């Protein structure tokens, strides 16, 4: 990751999504993350749809946005099911949704299939709430493991499908693939082909990774250690 001057907590907080997505998370843990997000002025709190309604009520009026994941973590549900899940969680109060893409279409460089899936979700989501933000989670580090002649085309297909389907941005990964957090190389490629899309770097759980991702071009950081990140900057 590129080096950057140490940020102030307030500068990072406005670009930081406090995240809790472990399947065993208890209500007390989800509430703690939301409380910390409000206390620190984080951009958003990210959780599974089962928590959306109570989070929307909890953070109401705080300025913290509620983000719900769709088809997390593997993205293997049918697009119709993803659309239903998106509609349901938006009705519960989600300001933004993060949809896990079906990776095989991207690996096959099949932009039509990748785009069609997302378009169905976008239509359903925006019919429910016109201003909902939609980002697409793609395992970009998995794409970086492809042979040299397929790596960059796969990133291009992923970004093109997201943009042409009417989504707003991309997210670097779920954390469930062994490849792990995004590298500077993958972020640079996404920025190359993701014109007009916001880029969120996920799995940024230490100050160095977070600042490096921002320096490489990410606009938003996702972290399951948001409060600790901000405390480390004090």
* pLDDT classification of 180: cutoffs 50, 70, 90: confident
- How confident is residue 179, by pLDDT bands cut at 50, 70 and 90? confident
Q: Is 78 helix (H, G, I), strand (E, B) or coil?
A: coil
pTM for the full model?
A: 0.95
Cα-based distances in Å from 207 to 9, 75, 143, 166, 193: 10, 29, 25, 32, 27
Q: Would the pLDDT of 74 be above 80?
A: yes
> Quick one: average pLDDT of 101-115?
97
Q: Cα–Cα distance between 12 and 140 in angstroms, integer?
A: 23
| Phi/psi of residue 189, nearest 5 degrees | -65, -40
**DSSP code per residue over 61-77:** TSSPEEEEEESTTT--S
Mean residue pLDDT across the chain:
94
Share of the chain residues as helix, strand and coil, in percent rounded to the nearest 5: 50, 15, 35
CATH number of 9-232: 3.20.20.70
HSE (CB half, 13 Å, CA atoms) of 48?
14
Alpha-carbon gap, residue 92 to 80, rounded angstroms = 19
| Cα–Cα distance measured from residue 181 to residue 184, given in angstroms and rounded to the nearest whole number | 10
DSSP letter, residue 51: G
Output the pLDDT for position 183.
87
């Amino acid at each position: 990751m590129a080096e950057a001057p140490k940020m102030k907590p307030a500068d990072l907080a406005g670009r930081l999504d406090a995240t809790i997505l472990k399947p065993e998370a208890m209500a007390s843990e989800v509430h703690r993350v939301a409380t910390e997000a409000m206390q620190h002025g984080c951009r958003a709190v990210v959780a599974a749809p089962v928590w959306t309604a109570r989070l929307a009520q909890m953070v109401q009026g705080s300025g913290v946005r509620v983000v719900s994941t769709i088809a997390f973590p593997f993205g293997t549900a049918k697009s119709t099911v993803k659309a239903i899940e998106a509609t349901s969680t938006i009705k519960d109060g989600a300001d933004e949704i993060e949809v896990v893409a079906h990776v095989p279409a991207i690996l096959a460089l099949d932009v039509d299939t990748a785009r069609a899936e997302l378009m169905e979700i976008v239509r359903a989501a925006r019919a429910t709430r016109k201003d909902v933000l939609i980002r697409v989670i793609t395992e970009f580090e998995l794409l970086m493991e492809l042979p040299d002649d397929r790596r960059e085309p796969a990133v291009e297909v992923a970004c093109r499908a997201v943009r042409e389907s009417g989504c707003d941005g991309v997210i670097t990964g779920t954390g469930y693939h062994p490849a792990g957090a995004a590298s500077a190389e993958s972020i640079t490629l996404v920025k190359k082909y993701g014109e007009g899309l916001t880029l969120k770097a996920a799995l940024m759980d230490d100050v160095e990774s977070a600042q490096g991702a921002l320096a490489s071009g990410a606009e938003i950081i996702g972290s399951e250690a948001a409060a600790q990140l901000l405390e480390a900057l004090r």
